[in-house]
Every structure is written in C-alpha cells, then in structure tokens.
Amino acid sequence: MKTRNEKLQRSALSLAVHGALAAMFAMPLMVMAADDEVSVLTRPTSSVEVGVAGVSEKSAKFGEYNGLNDSGAYGIANFNIGGGSAYDAYDGGNGTLRWEMNGRDLGTTSREFGASVSSQGSWDVRIGYDELRHNVSDTYQTPLQGAMGGNNFTLPVTFGTFNAQTNPSARTLDAQYQLGAFHTEEVGSTRKNTAFGAGFHFSRQLSIRFDYNHLDQSGAKLQAFGNQGGAAYATIASGIGRAEAVSVLMAPTNYKTDTFSLAVNWVGDKGYLTAGYFGSIFRDGYDSLSWQNAMLQTTGFTGCAPGGACTYQTNVASTAPDNQFHQLNLSGGYAFSPSTKLVGGFSYGRNTQNDSYASAVMQVGGLPQTSLDGSVVTTHANLKLTNRTTKDLSLSAGIKYNERDNQTTSNTYNYVEIAGGGYSGISTPYSNRKAQLELAGDYRIGKKQSLRLAYEHEYIKRWCNNVVGGAECVASPSSDEDKLGLTYRLKAGDNVKLNVGYAYAKRNAEFNHLYKANTGNYAVAATINGGDYAGYLAYPYASRTQNIVKAGLNWQATERLDFGVSGRYSFDEYEATLGVQDGSSASFNLDATYTYSENASVSAYVSWQNSERDLSAGAAGGVPAPSVTVAPTNVFSNQLKQDGSSIGLNTKHAFLGGKLELLGDLSYSLDKSHYSTQVPYLATCGATGTLTCGDTPDIKAELVAFKLTGSYRIDKHAKVALVYLYQNLTSSDYYYNGYQYGYTPNRVMPTNEQAPNYEVSFLGASYVYSFQ
C-alpha cells in the first residue's frame, strides 16, 4: 500500500515533469506568439475575399455608380496581396522592393484592378484599370431605332407622323403603330480607365515621373434636341418637321481621352523645382448625331398615316469635337532663410480643335471654313513670398495671373435656325484674363489664440479677338473685386477649439450695354445688351457685395466623448435693376462621437443646409425688345429656396473578444428645391390655363439607408463576413411631367421617363482569407 507521502512525492515529481515539458514547449510557443504579433505589426497582411451577393430590385438609380443596377446575384471578389524585401526592415533586412496587387468589386461593373512594384528611393512602376458604369435611366422610352451608343436613330417606316393637339389629355398616339413602337432602353455610359505610371530617382535630389491614362467612354447620355422646321427650312430641303419639336435622344459618348504627364523634380537644400509637361488628347468616335422626326407642323404639311410607308425629316447635330491640350509647367521654391520663402510657377498651354464640321444641311450659303482651326492659349503665373519673422507672426504676399486667349478666327455663318427663320451668326471667341493680389498675415496671441487677416484684389478682363464687325461681345469687359477676411482661433484649455471667421467682398463690374452676344440675332441691327432688357445683368458679371460669417467649435468633453459644431452663413447682394437681386446660404452641422471601449464607438451627425436666390425679370414684350427699360410695374420676381437635411448614426462594436465585429450605419436625408414666381402686373397668372405665377411643385428626394456589416473571425487566417444594405429612395420631380405620354407639350416626343424611386435590399456573404 502506498503511503500518502509517496503519492505526494509522485505528484510533485509529475508536476515538475509536466512543468518542465510545459516550459520546453510553451516557451517557443510564447516566442512564436510574440513573433506573430511582431509580424502582424511589421509585415503586410494580404487578403482574398470571395462571396456572393444578391440585389432585390432592379434600379438604375440605386446602381447609378455601384454596378448593382440589376436584381439578382453578383459575385463578390476583392483582393489585396503585397510583399517584398522592404518589409524585412524590422528584421534587419536591407531590401527596398515592395510589390502590391489589388482588386476591388471585381464582380460588378464598378470593378478596379491595380498593381505596383517599387524599389523605394530608386524607381516605381504601377498599372491600374478602373471601370465605372454610370447608369442614367432604365425608364427612358423611344420609338427611335438604333442601339444605345450609336449616332443614327431612325423611325419605323410605319410609325407615321402626328400633329399636336390643343388638349393635352386628348393628344394620344396611335396605339398600334406609334405607342407600340415605343421601347424601353437602359441608358448609361461606361468609363474604362487604364493607367500606367513610373518614376525614377536619379539621385536624392533629382527624380522623374511619367503618368499615362487612357479613358475610354462608351454608351450614351440623354440629351434633348429641337427638330428643324418651318417654311424657310423647306426652301433648303424637303422639311416637313414641326419647328422646334423636341426629341430626347441617347446622345452617344463614344469618347477616348489620352492624358500624359511628365515631370522632372529637383530638390536641394534651399530650393526645389519641378518642370513638367501635361498633355490631353480627346477623340470622339463620331462627328455628328442624326435622327428622324415624326412631328409635323400643325398646318401646311401633309403627314403620313401610321401604318403607311413613311419618310421622315432627318436632323443632324454636332457631337463633341476632337481637341488637344498641351501644357508646359514650371514651379519651384527657394528659401532665402529658414523664415523667408519664395514659391512660384508658370504654365503655358495650347488648346486646339480642328474637327470637320458636321453636315451643313441647314446652311443657306457656303461656309467660310470647313473646320474651326480653333486655338486657345492659356497662360498662368503665380508668385508667393512668405515670411515668419517670429514664431508668432506669419506674412504672405502673392500674385496670380491666368489668361485664356482665344485666338480663333471670328466668322459669319448664315443658316436657317430650327424655328425656321434665317440667322446670321457671328462667332465670338471669348478670352478672359484674371489677375489676383493676395496679402495675408497670421498672428499668434500666446499659445491659445491666433488671428488671421487676409486681403485679396481680383481684376478680370474679358474680350473677343477680331470679332467680325468689331462688335463688343461681352456684357462686362472688366471687373475689380476686393476681398477682406478675418479669422480668429481660440484653444480654450486642452479640450475646446473655436474658430470664427468673417469675410467681406465687393465687386465693381464695368458694364457695356452695347454688347452683342450669340443669344441676339446679329441680323437685327438694333440689338443691344445681348438682346436683354436695359438694366438686366447676368449675375456672374454684375457688381456684387458679399458677406460671409462662419464658426466652428470642437469640444473633447471627456476622453471618450467629443462634439463638433460648425455653421456658415453668406449673403450676396447684386447691383442690378433686373436679374439676380440677392442670394443667401446657410448651413449647420453637429457631430458627436462616443467611444465607449477600445473597439466600440457610436457617432451621430446632423447637417442642415438652406439657400435662397431672388431674381427680378421684365415682362414679355415685343421680340426683340432690346433698349427697352421695363417699367417697375411690369417686373416679375422668382425665388428659389433649397433645403437639405441629413442625419446619421454609425456604430462599431466588437464581441467575443474581438472575434465578432459589427458595424452599423443608419442615415436619412431629405432635400427640397422650390421655385416661387410672383407676377404682380398680371391678374390672370394664377388661372389654371396659365399658372405663370405661384409655386412649382417641390423637387424632393428622401433617402433612407441602413447598412449592417458583420464579420466573424474563424481563426487567425479566416473570417466570414455578412453585409446587409437597405436603401429606400422616394423622389418627386416635375421635370418628368412634361415627358409623359399624353402630357407632353405639343412639340415633344414623350419618353415616359420616371423620377427615380426604389426600395432595394442587398445581401452579401463572403469568406476572407488573410495571410502574411
């Protein structure tokens, strides 16, 4: 029989052995664990994510940019893989090589892919591919035949022509041949960016960098065009079209843009210099866009009944012309002393365009030239001297100069415009020059406060080179603006930061009422003020006074809780008898974040924005009505009010010792735009047949979004992730009213486009594998 002591001895021995064994194996394990921790910190973690996702409802608006416009299943595929000897640094390695490959959203049309390899301090090379499908509409309907992305749209021969009716509710299209010909198109454009970049360091001081980007666009955007018509047009070709009848078309975006930039950088002890070239070459796959018109003049022309073999009027518009921009850039700086620096830059660019004109079917006579041979020279220069005489005082003085000198020849073009009348247009190649002087001083009052005073003077000159007939082409040949800004900053204790700012600006614009513009018909000799009423000023060119007040406060209430509040108010007042009178904008933002543990926080925000604009305009009179001064009793007003508010709540929380992580994001936003027109001189403006006064329906968008992301770590390499997204958009916009079947204006081919409304759920599940 064994004694209790023997048992104890054996137990003690056993414990010692176990302890030794444990020490033998556990120590390396502990070291390995420590190594793992170091490795996680010092080496890159690569990851590959694969999964599936489902979208509940088809919506072009929900999928406007995210590639999730169709309902159904999508693949989830993301990866980020990297490595290289540069990551051995903590272990004493002396490598500089770093490489990385990444892919995101590969299962959608918003996919992107990139790869780079570099030897830090020596060279780097990168490539990238980025795709973006911009979904424009999935409700657009048209009877025109021709694929999206094409530039020729025709009508079915049996579609027939139609005349406008006076009563909108009675204006119906033939059910079989006309309504039946309408088909829905999913309109959108796809952008594919392919990028290449490389850099090389010749020495610590000298390096060179080259970047190239090829942007390939396809698809279309919706654009409305007025059709040719009228008797005068009929004298040129067999036109039967209703003057200015509107067709909404899938205007092709068959574009290719190549962008190059090359820069040589030199950095010395006291100075630095960058010399570079930037080039952008744009090409449009089409020179023109053509379409057929079925809308007839109400009188004087014989139509073709639906079901018959009809021929239609063909219209031709230009598309974006090929163009090039080449620019040489030089910028640099020099430190005269540690406290005084001078920086500056100079750019010289040339923008040319010589694409052949599209069909001249509307031309009465010959063309002065068959292409524009357009040339614009852009010049930029800037210089800024800064000084910090003491730690507390910073001063700066700078000048900027920008010029767009359009050297294109001005010519006269005679043609028949779409309303059917003869038009004599003189091209006015616009040029402008802007010179700015900027002075600023920052003064720190102790460690807690600072004051900034800034002054800016801006001079703008506008002109056209050699306009045929020597006419003045701009309403405001020059303007001077003085701006004064004052900002005060305060650090109250360690936890509160406050800033308050005020800015005042006064613009004095010269005005020439004798100017002529494209908007006026040069054939009408009496046209002055660009065809506007005397006293009417376009707002960008009117004298203006501007006041801006803004303030912000950040308060770190506790280690875990912080608040941020900011607001801004601006008021612009224009010196114009007619035109925009004034405008204001206001905004308020409140943010709060509570970090209730190391891996858990909740934050909330509220944003509110408002803007208003008041405009006065003269009553409709005879056309043209140049030189006429509108009596104050014949002035109507229009006000735009826009309100936007959004609130959001985000939370992050880790459970199960960090294995389970949840992220929640809830937001709501409401935006409204509203126009109100007052016509005091017209008692009948509110009659149901007129409605030229009163309010427009709200343009309204209300979006609720909820996103919940959860990930559960299975082991140190693997985790599973689940994403649920819900979005509900409710929008209303009177914009679409006029395009509906039976409700269109009498010269508009309906499209039946609808305001975007959707309620979409997205659910995705994925497996993420991480490794080092």
Q: Shortest Cβ distance from residue 628 to other proteins (Å)?
A: 10
Rounded to whole angstroms, the Cα distance separating 315 from 297 reads 15
Q: Which of 727, 732, 724, 615 is nearest to 672 (CA)?
A: 732
> What's the maximum distance between 2 C-alpha atoms anywhere in the chain?
132
491-520 positions binding other proteins, by CB under 8 A: 497, 499, 517-520
DSSP code, position 110: T
Tell which positions 724-763 bind other proteins, by CB under 8 A.
731, 734-740, 743-748, 756
Distance, CA of 132 to CA of 151 (rounded, Å)? 22
| Segment 521 to 560, residues that bind other proteins, using CB under 8 A | 529-533, 536, 538-540, 556
Considering only residues 588 through 627, tell me which ones interact with other proteins, judged by CB under 8 A.
589, 591, 605, 607, 609, 613, 615, 617-621, 623-626
The one segment of 151-159, 161-169, 174-182, 505-513 that binds other proteins by CB under 8 A: 161-169
Question: Toward other proteins, which CB reaches closer, 159 or 291?
Answer: 291
Nearer to other proteins, 6 or 91 (CB): 91
Q: Candidates 139, 265, 479, 727: give the one binding other proteins (CB under 8 A).
A: 265
Q: 454-473: which residues touch other proteins (CB under 8 A)?
A: 457, 459, 462
Task: Tell which one of 273, 592, 654, 722 touches other proteins (CB under 8 A).
Answer: 273
CA 156 to chain centre: 38
- For other proteins, give the closer residue by CB, 307 or 518: 518
- Alpha carbon of 741 to those of 56, 302, 721: distances in Å? 29, 24, 47
Under the criterion CB under 8 A, does residue 55 sit at the interface with other proteins?
no
Per CB under 8 A, contacts with other proteins among 411-440 are 413, 415-418, 423, 425, 427-430, 432, 435, 437, 439-440
* Placement of tokens 């090929």 in the chain: 322
Among the listed ranges 69-77, 179-187, 257-265, 304-312, the one in contact with other proteins (CB under 8 A) is: 257-265
For every residue of 229-258, DSSP letters joined together read: -SHHHHTTS---BPTT-EEEEEEE--EEEE
Q: Which two tokens stand for residue 744?
A: 């269109």
Distances (CA, A) of 586 to 16, 163, 550, 570: 76, 48, 9, 6
Q: Is 489 in the site for other proteins (CB under 8 A)?
A: yes
Residue keyed to tokens 């490489």 = 99
Report the nearest approach of other proteins to the CB of residue 311 (Å): 22
The CB-of-145 to other proteins minimum distance in angstroms stands at 21
The token duo for 263 is 């820069």
Name residues contacting other proteins, limited to 176-195 (CB under 8 A).
Answer: none
Within positions 647 to 666, which residues make up the interface with other proteins, using CB under 8 A? none
Report the residue from 386, 465, 651, 757 that binds other proteins according to the rule CB under 8 A.
386
CB 401 within 8 A of CB 382: yes
DSSP state of 7: H
Q: Is 628 helix (H, G, I), strand (E, B) or coil?
A: coil
CB of 438 to other proteins, least distance (A): 9
Which residues ranging from 294 to 333 are in contact with other proteins (CB under 8 A)?
A: 316-318, 320-321, 323, 325, 331-333
For the CA atoms of 41, 42, 43, 47, the dihedral, rounded to the nearest 10 degrees, stands at: 20
Query: Does 235 contact other proteins by CB under 8 A?
Result: no
Task: CB nearer to other proteins: give 525 or 623.
Answer: 623
Q: How far apart are CA 208 and CA 261, in angstroms?
A: 11
- Least Cα distance to 396 among 404, 387, 405, 383 occurs for 387
Site for other proteins in 678-707 (CB under 8 A): 679, 682, 685, 688-697, 699, 701, 703
- How many positions of this chain bind other proteins (CB under 8 A)? 224
What ranges make up the beta strands (E) of 576-619? 578-597, 600-618
Structure tokens at 120: 């830090």
Amino acid found at 312? Y
